[in-house]
Structure 1
């Protein structure tokens, strides 16, 4: 019995680490100029850290007016450009 519990625990840990039990996150779509966005609430805006002024790809995760979580990627100047 203990062996079955240990095996099940290992299996669940392996599945959790692969994301099988992870909450389904919104698949990010690339932004196109003129693309309509229905943003009711922004959850997060993520961009890579950059120490130089350059163009980076950012990702905005948001909730639309129907309560659906969505994500969009877009190009922007890095935060380092504000200090230049």
Structure 2
């Protein structure tokens, strides 16, 4: 009885490990002019650096199929002034 219970518990524990979703690191894809973007929902946009000039930012978004992507593109930094 104890062996059967022990076997059942160990089998349940090992199956729960397989049921957990694997965490996959998503790499940022650099934007190229003309790239088709399928953006259904923006999740996050990193802030621009405090410099006066082009600086990279990253946008994390979900596409129309629910997949998450990271797009890297350049913006003018927030350190420029007009005076």
- How does the TM-score come out when normalised to structure 1? 0.63
1:49 shift after superposition: 2.8
Unmatched tracts of structure 1, length 5 or more: 1-21
State the aligned residue count: 61
- Aligned 8 A contact 2:48 2:78 in 1: no
Unmatched tracts of structure 2, length 5 or more: 1-21
- How does the TM-score come out when normalised to structure 2? 0.63
Where does residue 45 of structure 2 map in the other structure? Answer: 45
1:27 shift after superposition: 1.4
- Aligned 8 A contact 1:47 1:57 in 2: no
Bigger Rg over Cα: 2
Q: Secondary structure of 1:79's partner?
A: coil
1:80 shift after superposition: 2.6
